Amino acid sequence: MSFGDPNNPYGQQGQQPGYGQPQGPPPGQPGYGYPQGQPQQPGGYGYPSPPPAPTGYSGQMEMPGLMKTARVFLFIFAGFQILAGLVIGIGMGIVGAAASHSSSNAGNALAGIGIVGGVLLVGIGALSIFLGVKFATGGTGIRVTTIVYASLGLLGGLGNLANGGNGGAFSAIISLACSGIILASMVNSSASAWFNRPRY
């Protein structure tokens, strides 16, 4: 049986390449246009391969500095509010216990109001801690809640400044300054970009 003329480009050549068959580079050697020592990267048909991903970049955004400051103030506020709530609650509990022995209705009412105020302060302190913790992962809802929280802090500071004496004026000024910084950190464009950033 004959496989045809070896000089005929249209005949069957067996395992030997002929004139009409494409030939690739020998095994272990780079193809045309590829420098020695670099492996050939598979690309799309007619398109080069995409560049490798950059190293050392996580793609995550860093929290703006003013927001970090506001977060610290939220934690400081929380400490003072929880401490004040506990002191008021315990103090008014003692007043209530003393009033119950003397059957004084005014003392009982004052103790009840004081205990409710103490519990409210502890709750606001817990909210402040929650907001500070959620700055890292929260969305627009945390931002809006923090704006409301800081606005109420400003109103409370103004009320204390109007009603307080020398000691009350100092704490009111501190409260106004801290609440103002928290509010300013929430209403700027960097806060909007931070709370609307994509989560991975």
111 burial type by CB count under 10 A (0-12 exposed, 13-18 middle, 19+ buried): buried
CA–CA distance, 185 with 80 (Å, rounded to integer): 21
Mean pLDDT of 115-123: 88
At residue 196, the pLDDT reads: 85
Name the band, by pLDDT with cuts 50, 70 and 90, for residue 45: low
Q: What is the mean pLDDT of residues 19-45?
A: 55
pLDDT for 164-173, tens place per residue?
655 667 778 8
Instruction: Check if the beta carbon of residue 2 is closer than 8 Å to that of residue 14.
Output: no
**pLDDT digit string, tens, across residues 46-70:** 666 655 554 444 456 788 888 899 9
Q: What is the pLDDT of residue 24?
A: 56
Average pLDDT, the chain: 76
How far is C-alpha 25 from the geometric centre of its chain's CA atoms?
A: 53
**pLDDT exceeds cutoff 90 at 140:** no
**How far is it between the farthest Cα atoms of the chain?**
128
Nearest to 192 by CA among 151, 142, 129: 142
Predicted local distance difference test score (pLDDT) of residue 123: 92
Predicted local distance difference test score (pLDDT) of residue 9: 64
Written as one string, the DSSP assignment of 12-67 is: --TTS--TTS---PPTTS--TT--TTSPPPP--TTSPPPPPPPSS---PPPPPHHH
